[in-house]
Amino acid sequence: MAKLEKFLLAEAISVDKASNRVTAFSIVEDIRLKEPGRIIRGSYPEGVRLHIPTLSVLIVLVPEDGDYEVDWQAVLVVEGPIRQEDAAPFPVNFKFKTGTNRHRLIAKLEGLPLTGPGELSFSLALNQVVVGRIAVPVVDVDASNRPTNLQ
């Protein structure tokens, strides 16, 4: 079965058309509620505390022998402090191209509403087998508990 080589979250991911190189902008290690500049003003459904404008997921898979003939279904599942109606899985069907030694999947989530602190996790399943999970803490930040590295 294909192996997961990279799995990361960033505010944006770009692929250069000329070189095919990938750039991840602002890798997400945690999400801070009430952080200045991160909240978009507007009206949101009840219970939503933070609306993340964009969040990108980069997945790099490395095929093994025999994987090139398989029809793959990758499913990205988002769990954590989000409303159930916003937790729909993201399925993608693909095949590894013969002669390639890796395959990239990039998902861009727009308008992800968070309901409060907790752990926001992303799981990846290939043909119904979970092959990876990444999680970031969603923390409350206010003047009384702001970490010193946010200055």
Supply 10's token pair. 């960033």
Q: What is the DSSP string of 2-14?
A: -EEEEEEEEEEEE
Give the model confidence (pLDDT) of 59-103 as tens digits: 999 999 899 999 999 999 999 998 777 778 999 999 999 888 999
Give the model confidence (pLDDT) of 129-146 as tens digits: 999 999 999 988 764 455
CB atoms inside a 10 Å sphere around CB 52: 19
Strands 31-33 and 129-140 turn out to be parallel
Query: What distance in Å separates the CA atoms of residue 8 and residue 16, rounded to the nearest whole number?
Result: 18
The pair phi, psi for residue 150, each rounded to 5°, is -95, 5
The answer to whether 111 touches 42, Cβ cutoff 8 Å, is no
Supply 6's token pair. 């990279």
Mean pLDDT, all residues of the chain: 85
Work out the pLDDT band at 46, boundaries 50, 70, 90: low
Place of tokens 């080589």: 5
Sign, Cα dihedral of 75, 76, 79, 84: negative
Domains and CATH numbers, the chain: 3-150 (2.60.40.2560)
pTM over 0.75: yes
